[in-house]
A and B are shown apart, each in its own frame.
Chain A
């Protein structure tokens, strides 16, 4: 017993003081301590340091500012949002898709209506001045400059066609960051889109760029704009290369456009089953802008409709975000397809176009947009298959400087794309 005790031994002796276990070990240590003043001094020093440290750490700990309420509220809203997303992801995506399609439809729809009018009255006249139509009862006063030349055969779009849709939440109006990325793939049957599938691309999908750089999917558009002035082409090229799918056209859209659209069609009517009250609705500047909507049938303007869809409160079981988003999508659809609304939209097509054009960028030509609108008008939600990359073919990983990102599992995506109802075979 002439070998000195190690720090480890002394520390574990300190730790087990007061415990009944490991008696043998303790007895051996104690025997040595009795005969060795050097080790006694070291033990003394260790226990003094430990005591000082404990009391200091406790003292610092009690001086830490606690804000449990804020912590809880942040946590709760995150959990709720996640729950809403988990429960019905397909419907949520379908909503986004419908909204975007609705905007496309309206942009195109107005012009399609004109075309139709012109076709009825005859192309010869149409090239000169659009005459008042016998079909359209509302005064049609569109600017002739906007009307494309009438075409003999409108259904010229070649399908299958892949359109990349980039949606920006529009938290700030100048932001080019994209929250929603979808690749809409239309498959043809006799001039009509028979069915479509949507590949939903998570915004934090990690992408390698030519030249060794990397970025996240959400920043593609703004990065492309910065580099070459053309975010549309850049986003299309990078995603096409990464996913191994063709991207024929790209549409960029701010949700602001959606708000304007709803205002242009005079708002949407919604049956609100329970009063919606969200006192903590963010105002986008770090504060709150309470949202209060009473129960009953309500006419909501664009901003309120968007907030109605976005709030995370759940006033009654099942009456959640997803449900409300679906309500709005249906209401928009209902509204646009009302004959009266459509004619009034047609008459206001130029104003409509200029109101929305700030929030839309696309390399679809006007004629293609029209064809697209016509080709997809027969699609219902049931014809649309949604593939979520996040759910099927990506793994989360933390990357330095980028936080948690998703890495694409190419093999899984490839095998998924080979399944018959996606690759265009038997359905």
Chain B
């Protein structure tokens, strides 16, 4: 599934895009669209939001194409850093909207204890076995650590790149990955034990 993208080829596409070549712009978009959307989906766990974030990331990238510096990062990485920022914006808005709607519900006499698993992200992914378990566990990892894990193990970003994407320091990025690891491993062991005891009963 990983696409082999040649750096020189991408650079040529960028230059042609800057010169106004629409075919090159389209190719540049199509080449990077899948990885960018997938990353956004993993971060947001919602198709519509992921598409919005991806659209905004490309919009920003194409408007700031002359600022892209191939010596600092690949175009794909640059896009990943941008899209992460857009995803964080969307999450911030979502949290606020959720908080406001919760306020209204509470005023109307709603008890959050009634409904534990509300706001579940889309889960129609048809994952099997271990992967389903890992995905469910990942959803329970605190947000910032989860983002760091996704950027590290799906986005393939380095720690300095993650720091840029997440707006934190390099050492914070490292700590988040380490913390995410701990929580995830712990959750997975719990789940494994639970399933074991469940199947032996």
Contact = CB atoms under 8 A, between A and B. Distances in A.
Interface stretch (A32-40, A50-58, A176-184, A339-347): A50-58
Contacts, number: 108
A66 interface: yes
Given A54-B154, A78-B59, A59 B34 contact: no
A398 B96 CA distance: 14
B41 A64 contact: yes
Interface string B124-141: 011100110011001000
A71 B29 contact: yes
Contact of A49 (B38, B58, B185): B185
A75 B41 contact: no
Interface bracket on A: 35 or more
Nearest to A59: B131
Contact of B153 (A50, A66, A68, A82): A50
B162 to A, nearest CB: 12
Nearest to A9: B178
A270 to B, nearest CB: 27
Interface in B137-155: 138, 149-150, 153-154
Given A67-B51, A71-B58, A398 B33 contact: no
A75 B59 contact: yes
A58 B154 CA distance: 7
A56 B131 contact: yes
Contact of B127 (A54, A60, A72): A60
Interface in B167-201: 174-175, 177-178, 181-182, 184-185, 188
A79 B34 contact: no
B127 A56 contact: yes
Contacts of B184: 49, 53
B104 interface: no
Contacts of B77: none
Interface in B18-50: 22, 25-26, 29-30, 33-34, 37-39, 41-42, 47, 50
B117 interface: no
Contacts of B41: 60-61, 64
Interface of B: 1, 22, 25-26, 29-30, 33-34, 37-39, 41-42, 47, 50-51, 54-55, 58-59, 62-63, 89, 92-93, 96, 125-127, 130-131, 134-135, 138, 149-150, 153-154, 174-175, 177-178, 181-182, 184-185, 188
Interface of A: 7-8, 11, 45-46, 49-50, 52-68, 71-72, 74-76, 78-79, 82, 398, 400-401
